[in-house]
Amino acid sequence: MKMLQSLRNSSCMRLIQNNRSTWYFLFLVLGYVLYLIFGAVIFSSVELPYEDLLRQELRTIKRQFLQENECISERRLDDFLEKALEASNYGVSVLNNVSASWNWDFTSALFFASTVLSTTGYGHTVPLSDGGKAFCIIYSVIGIPFTLLFLTAMVQRIMVFSTRRPVAYVHTRWGLSKSLVGAVHAGLLAFLTASCFFFIPAVVFTFLEDEWNFLESFYFCFISLSTIGLGDYVPGEGSNQKFRQFYKIGITVYLLLGLVAMLVVLETFCELQQLKQLRKVFYLKRERPEDRLNILDHDHLSFCSVSDQAASLREDKAEPYMEGRVLGTPTVEGPIVG
């Protein structure tokens, strides 16, 4: 019994060791699902009370309005609000002077095109016509791969001067460990990028946008450059916005440059030896050339052995048949029955 148990344990351990990357991947999937559930629980517990409070406040305001304006029925008010909300979803608001700012002038359309190609997609402005929706599909199918190619080529060239050459210079000049130099360089690059594309722009947006505080401005920068693009905060949409067209062009340039900077930082971290080793834990192991040769040799030997066995079986089957034929053939010397 002990021998069987030890054999069973050894076979289980061998199975686990041979499929270690698969087990690590399953733990990764489980961790990701748990992280999703954790986020849902936190968001629900934090935001649900505010949603309930806002619903109660809207009901109270609506009730007071109907009481003060008895000539307006609740049905007509609901129809008006439904139409206003539908227009707001398309980027047209009844609260602002519509003739003062348009959603589809050249600068606004340029800003919209940049959000489509970068897959940010704020959702505050969407095509109204069927032709615009059809063109948006075709434009995105061609433009998004084109944008990925453009960003990849740009990041590859920037990485030479921002990461590879500085790390190689410090490594050869002072003889420090390349992994240590790369980690320190990645941290400094991340701090510089966060300062230039998150903290400083957040301060600028705090002054340019009247209703934004620093947290809301920083939130917009992060949501935009991470291409999440929720659309709850969009700059340049105020009715009293000065130099709106130049402001929109500046925001478009900021988003493209910030996206390139984010990709450079991510690529720099991906080249760290520590993260490469961590990624290998979850990846499938590649077959080495010698393993493939061993497999081919094994298959060749197996094929040869099977062929030899088949040939010997054919010979064994053929010999009795031939002997039977010789024995059963009448000879001249034998008696002939008339």
- pLDDT over 90 (residue 140): yes
- pLDDT over 80 (residue 98): no
Q: How many Cα atoms occupy the beta-carbon half-sphere of 292 within 13 Å?
A: 4
Per-residue pLDDT tens over the stretch 11-44: 666 666 767 778 888 998 999 999 999 999 999 9
Per-residue pLDDT tens over the stretch 191-220: 999 999 999 999 999 998 888 999 999 999
Those residues with Cβ within 8 angstroms of residue 159's Cβ, 6 or more apart along the chain or in another chain: 264, 267, 268
In this prediction, residue 93 carries a pLDDT of 72
Give the chain's end-to-end CA distance (angstroms, integer). 78
User: What is the C-alpha separation between 209 and 229, in angstroms, rounded?
Assistant: 18
Between 93 and 279, residue with greater pLDDT: 279
- pLDDT over 80 (residue 289): no
Burial class (CB in 10 A: 0-12, 13-18, 19+), 89: exposed
**Mean per-residue pLDDT for 44-61?**
92
**Mean per-residue pLDDT for 156-185?**
91
HEC profile of 271-301: CCHHHHHHHHHHCCCCCCHHHHHHHHHHHHH
User: What is the C-alpha separation between 280 and 272, in angstroms, rounded?
Assistant: 13
The long-range contacts involving 175-179, CB below 8 angstroms and separated by at least 24 positions, are 178/273, 179/272, 179/273, 179/274
Between 224 and 1, residue with greater pLDDT: 224
Between 67 and 301, residue with greater pLDDT: 67
Q: How many CB atoms lie within 10 A of CB 156?
A: 11
Burial class (CB in 10 A: 0-12, 13-18, 19+), 258: buried
User: What is the C-alpha separation between 1 and 4, in angstroms, rounded?
Assistant: 5
pTM of the complete model beyond 0.75: no
Question: What are the sequence ranges of the domains in the chain?
Answer: 103-282
103-282 under CATH 1.10.287.70, yes or no: yes
Between 325 and 239, residue with greater pLDDT: 239
Q: How many Cα atoms occupy the beta-carbon half-sphere of 74 within 13 Å?
A: 6
Cα-based distances in Å from 22 to 13, 27, 248, 283, 292: 14, 9, 48, 8, 21
DSSP 332: S
pLDDT averaged over every residue in the chain: 80
User: What is the C-alpha separation between 327 and 330, in angstroms, rounded?
Assistant: 8
